């Protein structure tokens, strides 16, 4: 742990010292030129746009023979170095953006998966409840009480059908009395519906009564 902290402090000191080497006078241009000639030089560590701008201004301002001969090449190398750093920063930002997009997509996918899982769970619960209700209904209908219920429901439905057919006949006869024409097809269809309802009522009533009949209790013979 102590070694790690020592290395971190040394790195900070190196970065600070390197950044402090920003040329301030014409005599510093020799060190700048040497750093520009070495792609691995830490001289430009933590440099910003203003540092490159000041270095370029200093290079333009210095016209002495000791350092002016490399002015054009120096300006080109400074611009290339700054552009390379700018491209690296842009690439880093783009990488971060893509990482954020990927993380957002993963989060959205996980959220959608969780939502779909919850939907499937509720659907499975509803389906299970529906099947249980159908099983209960089927069990109930298999009993005498269920048979009575089904027969009664069928009789009620037949009575409603018969009532509707009778109303259709009455209405058609009223129309015929006014217009002098009777639609025999309507009367025939209504008559068939009434007959079919009566037949089903008799059948269901027989089933209803047979299901409702309870066996008589056996009488005990008196003891001799």
pLDDT tens-digit map of 173-223 = 888 888 888 888 888 898 888 898 888 888 888 877 776 655 554 555 555
pLDDT band at 15 (very low <50, low <70, confident <90, very high): very low
Contacts of 187 (CB under 8 A, 6+ apart): 169, 172
Given a cut of 90, is residue 128 above it in pLDDT? yes
Tens digit of pLDDT for each residue in 48-60? 888 888 988 888 8
What's the pTM?
0.40
Biggest CA-to-CA distance, the chain = 153
Residues 102-117: what's their mean pLDDT? 94
pLDDT band at 140 (very low <50, low <70, confident <90, very high): confident
DSSP string, the chain: -HHHHHHHHHHHHHHHHHHTTS--SGGGHHHHHHHHT-TT-GGGTT--HHHHHHHHHHHHH---TTTGGGHHHHHHHHHHHHHHHHHHHHHHHHHHHHHHHHHHHHHHHHHHHHHHHHHHHHHHHHHHHHHHHHHHHHHHHTSHHHHHHHHHHHHHHHHHHHHHHHHHHHHHHHHHHHHS---HHHHHHHHHHHHHHHHHHHHHHHHHHHHHPPPPPPPPPPP-
**In contact, 211 and 144? CB cutoff 8 Å:** yes
Q: Regarding predicted confidence, which is higher, 46 or 213?
A: 46
Given a cut of 50, is residue 29 above it in pLDDT? yes
**In contact, 27 and 68? CB cutoff 8 Å:** no
Q: Where are the domains of the chain?
A: 2-102, 143-212
> Is residue 180 left, alpha or beta, with left meaning phi > 0 and alpha meaning psi from -120 to 50?
left
Of 4-8, 46-50, 84-88, 155-159, the least confident: 4-8
Q: Which residue has the tokens 């309507």?
A: 186
Q: How far apart are CA 138 and CA 64, in angstroms?
A: 108
- Average pLDDT value for the chain: 80
Contacts of 41 (CB under 8 A, 6+ apart): 34, 35
Of 25-29, 159-163, 204-208, the least confident: 204-208
């Amino acid at each position: 742990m102590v070694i790690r902290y020592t290395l971190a402090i040394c790195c900070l000191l190196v970065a600070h010292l390197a950044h402090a080497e920003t040329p301030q006078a014409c005599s510093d241009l020799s060190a700048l030129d040497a750093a520009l000639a070495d792609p691995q030089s830490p001289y430009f560590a933590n440099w910003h746009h203003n540092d490159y701008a000041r270095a370029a201004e200093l290079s333009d301002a210095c016209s002495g023979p000791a350092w002016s001969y490399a002015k054009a090449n120096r300006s080109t190398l400074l611009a290339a170095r700054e552009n390379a750093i700018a491209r690296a920063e842009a690439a880093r930002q783009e990488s971060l953006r893509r990482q954020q997009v990927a993380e957002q997509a993963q989060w959205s996918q996980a959220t959608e998966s969780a939502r779909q899982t919850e939907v499937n769970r509720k659907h499975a619960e509803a389906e299970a409840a529906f099947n249980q209700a159908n099983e209960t209904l089927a069990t109930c209908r298999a009993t005498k009480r269920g048979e009575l219920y089904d027969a009664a429901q069928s009789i009620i439905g037949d009575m409603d059908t018969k009532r509707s057919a009778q109303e259709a006949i009455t209405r058609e006869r009223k129309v015929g009395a006014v217009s002098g024409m009777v639609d025999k097809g309507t009367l025939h269809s209504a008559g068939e519906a009434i007959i079919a309802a009566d037949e089903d009522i008799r059948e269901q009533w027989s089933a209803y009564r047979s299901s409702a009949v309870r066996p008589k209790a056996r009488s005990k013979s008196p003891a001799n």
